[in-house]
Every structure is written in structure tokens, then in C-alpha cells.
Structure 1
Amino acid sequence: MAKVLILYHSAYGHVETLAKAVAEGARSAGAEVDIKRVPETVPEELARKSGFKLDQEAPVAVIGDLENYDAIIVGGGTRFGRMSSQLATFLDQAGGLWMRGALHGKVGGAFTSTGTQHGGQEVTLFSIITNLLHFGMTIVGLNYGFQGQMRLDEVTGGSPYGATTIAGGDGSRQPSENELEGARYQGRTIAEVAIKLHG
């Protein structure tokens, strides 16, 4: 059985919701799945004032966790067209794993959330994917088998590079069922590839 890690940072809960959907998809393929979050680097008082969602149930990951999985699916919100500093700070600490080639051949993927439709979703996915490629991982996106990413009857996230959601400028929009289904599809697809490669 393949082991899959869903690793994420979520300031306001949108990425946390996507992470749970990605995990559902991976479990549906028969994988063993853990959801963990990266440490929050914003001081707690400032995070509270900023409305961060601080009651997230996922345990906090440590760098050493990463080599224990066959697949790692990384999610985080967009910050000016790139991954959040919290997520970048965590991945920046993985130099020892990179030096040892500890993540070579593992399966990877990315998912994200932005405030607006054109707020940098694809660029953010690529900023995550770039890190995973440097670690020697095999990348699996959200292929067009998930037709929901092509819908024109509603505003929706999703791209061939990974599952996404649109939070709205004030963060009030929650992931739609279509976006959650895209996250489940990507999680299932990545788990299926990991099972074929490592199962």
C-alpha cells in the first residue's frame, strides 16, 4: 500500500478544506493518507488579528516526515503569485533531504487557493512544483480526465497543473463542490500513480 502525505499551509481555511478533499481522493484509491500542516510563522497575536484560522486539526509536520511517504501533495495559498512564505520556509529546510536524494522518485503534486480568478493560481502551482522537481519527484497534475476544470457555467478553480479554489477578495467564498471534486480527482490520481510505482 502506498503512503501519501498531504502537506499544506492554510491561513484562512480554504486550503485546509482542499487538503481534506485531496486526502479523500487518495484514500479512495486505497492509499494510506496523512494530512499535516507546516508550522505557522506569523506570531499568534498578529494571526488572530488578521483572522487566521487557528483551530486546524492537522498535526504540524517536521522535515523528517517527508521521506516516509511514497507521494507528497503540497498545498498553500497564493502570495503575490507565489507560494506563501510559511510553505517556502518549510521546504527551504529540506536541503538535507535534497543532498541525500531522499525524495527521488516519489510522486508529487500541488494545489492552491487565490482571492481572484486571475490571482496567480498557475504561477503558484509552478512555484510549488519547481521545488518538487528539484527534490527529484515525479509530478502529477489535474489531468483533463477531470472535465470540471473546463466548466463555463460557473466561476471555478482548477487547472491541468493542480486543483485550486477561488476564495474571493475578502475570503468569504468557500470551495465549491466542483473544486472539491477536482481536488478528490487529483488526490486519487496521484495515489494511483504512487501505488503503481511503489505499491
Structure 2
Amino acid sequence: MTRILVLYYSSYGHVRALAEAEAEGARSVAGTHVDLRRVPETVPEEIRQKAGFTDDGTPVASPADLEHYDAIIFGTPTLFGMMAGQMKSFLDQAGSLWARNALVGKVAAVFASTGSQHGGHEATLLTTQVPLQHFGMLIVGMPYTYVGQTTADEIVGGAPYGAGTIAGADGLRSPTEKDLAGARFQGKHVARIAVRLAGANLHEEAA
């Protein structure tokens, strides 16, 4: 089985909804085992409560878990035009994996939620890919074969760099069906590539 991890951080549930859609898309590909995990929270509980953060019972991952997967799809909200600090902190703790080249050749993808269309949506998708390339991972985006991202009839999240949603300045806008369809598309796209690469590796080992 090709093992795929959908790993995310979500404050208000937008990224979690996208993560569930990514996992759904990945699971639709035969020969895959897909896990849904979140990174640890770093915000004190008192502040979480005051800010109205959404409770999340999804199991928490550790950096050591990453090397056990063939593909990892990372999801993060946008904070000041970048990935959330919780996700950055998690990646910063994966130095031992980097030192052992443990993630080299694994498939990676990114999706994001942003408050506004011009609030760093594409910047977050792109800059989150940077540390993944330092790990030696193979980046997969969301190609234009998902035609939903080209619509001009409504606000739509995502880009060729990854799936996404626009939450609105007040955070009250939920991911649309186009956003969720994009996430499912990306999850399926990543899974197909990971399965092909895993099959090629098995063929090489057998030879």
C-alpha cells in the first residue's frame, strides 16, 4: 500500500475541511492508505478560547512520523502572508529527518486558507513549498486540469501551486464546493503520482 499523510493546522475549521477533502480524494485511488493528522497547537488554551478557535479531535502527528509515508500533503492557514507558526514550528523540528535525507524523493503538496484573495494566498502556497524542497521532496501542485480554479464567476481559492479557500476577513466564509472539489482533485492527483512512484521503486528493487 502507498501511504499518504494529510497533515494540517487549522484554527477555525477552514483548513480542516480542506484536509478532509484532500484525504477523500487520496483515498479514491486504489492501493493507498491515507491518514489524517494535525500538527500540535502552540497557542495557550486561554487564548484559544478567547479567539474562538475550533476544537479538533484529529490525532496529532510528530515529525518522526513523516518518514513512514510515501506522500505528505500539508495544509496551513495564512498568517501575515506565510504559513502558520504552528506548521513552521513542526517543520523546524524535523531537522533529524533532513540530516538523514529521510524525506528525499517523497511526494509533497500544499493547500491553504487565506482571509482575502490578496492576503498572501499564493505566497503561502509557494513559501510553504520552500522547506519541503530543502527536505528533497517532490512538489505536486494543482494543475489546470482542475478547471474550477479558472472561474471568474465567484471568489475561488487555490492556484496551480495548490488547493485553497478564501475565508473572508471575519472568517465566516466556509470553503465552497469548488474549493472542496479542488482539494479532492489535488488529493487524488498526489495519490496517483505517489502510487506510480512507489510501483516504479518496487520494480527497481525486484530487478
- TM-score norm. by structure 2 comes to 0.94
* Structure 1 residue 182: Cα displacement: 0.3
State how 1:55-94 maps to structure 2 within 5 Å: 56-94=56-94
Letter in 2 for 1:115: G
* Structure 1 residue 57: Cα displacement: 2.6
Letter in 2 for 1:2: T
1:151 paired residue number? 151
RMSD across aligned positions (CA): 0.7
* Structure 1 residue 128: Cα displacement: 1.2
1:118 matched to 2:153: no
Give the conservation status (yes or no) of the 8 Å contact 2:112–2:158. Answer: no
1:40 paired residue number? 41
1:51 matched to 2:52: yes
Letter in 2 for 1:45: E
* Structure 1 residue 108: Cα displacement: 0.2
- TM-score norm. by structure 1 comes to 0.98
Matched length: 198
* Structure 1 residue 110: Cα displacement: 0.1
Rounded to whole Å, the distance in 2 between the matches of 1:27 and 1:192 is 10
**Sequence identity of aligned pairs in percent?**
57
Letter in 2 for 1:128: T
Rounded to whole Å, the distance in 1 between the matches of 2:29 and 2:121 is 26
1:131 paired residue number? 131
* Structure 1 residue 145: Cα displacement: 0.4
> Unmatched 5+ residue regions in structure 1?
none
Rounded to whole Å, the distance in 2 between the matches of 1:42 and 1:100 is 30
* Structure 1 residue 62: Cα displacement: 0.6
1:98 paired residue number? 98
Letter in 2 for 1:65: D
Where does structure 1 differ by over 4 angstroms across 4 or more consecutive aligned residues?
none
Rounded to whole Å, the distance in 2 between the matches of 1:198 and 1:95 is 25
* Structure 1 residue 80: Cα displacement: 0.6
* Structure 1 residue 82: Cα displacement: 0.5
Return the index of the structure with the highest Cα Rg: 2
1:189 paired residue number? 189
Rounded to whole Å, the distance in 2 between the matches of 1:129 and 1:96 is 19
* Structure 1 residue 131: Cα displacement: 1.1
